[in-house]
Amino acid sequence: MNLGITELLLIALIVFLLFGSKKLRGLGGDLGTALKDFKRAIKGEEKGDNKPDDHNDPQPPKA
């Protein structure tokens, strides 16, 4: 079963009409968050470990 661009656009239009833009936007955001968390879990990072460690860097002198 080969789906062309016309069929895919028709399916997207039907989904858009059924669910509406707000629900699809929320679903997209949730999917993006889930993918980020999944990638983070694969790398072994914790949630918030994406910032560089500045603990060992001396503070610059204040003027």
What is the rounded average pLDDT of the residues 7-18?
A: 90
Q: Which domain holds residue 34?
A: 1-43
Number of domains observed in the structure of the chain: 1
CA distance 2 to 5: 10
51 inside domain: no
What is the rounded average pLDDT of the residues 47-63?
A: 59
CATH of the domain at 5: 1.20.5
pLDDT in tens, 18-50: 888 788 888 888 999 999 999 999 988 766 555
What is the rounded average pLDDT of the residues 42-60?
A: 63
- Rounded to 5 degrees, φ, ψ at 60 are -70, 150
49 inside domain: no
The answer for residues whose C-beta is within 8 angstroms of residue 3's C-beta and 6 or more apart is 11
36 inside domain: yes
59 inside domain: no
63 inside domain: no
CA 29 to chain CA centroid, Å, is 6
Rounded to 5°, angle at Cα 48 from 30 and 44 = 85
pTM of this structure: 0.45
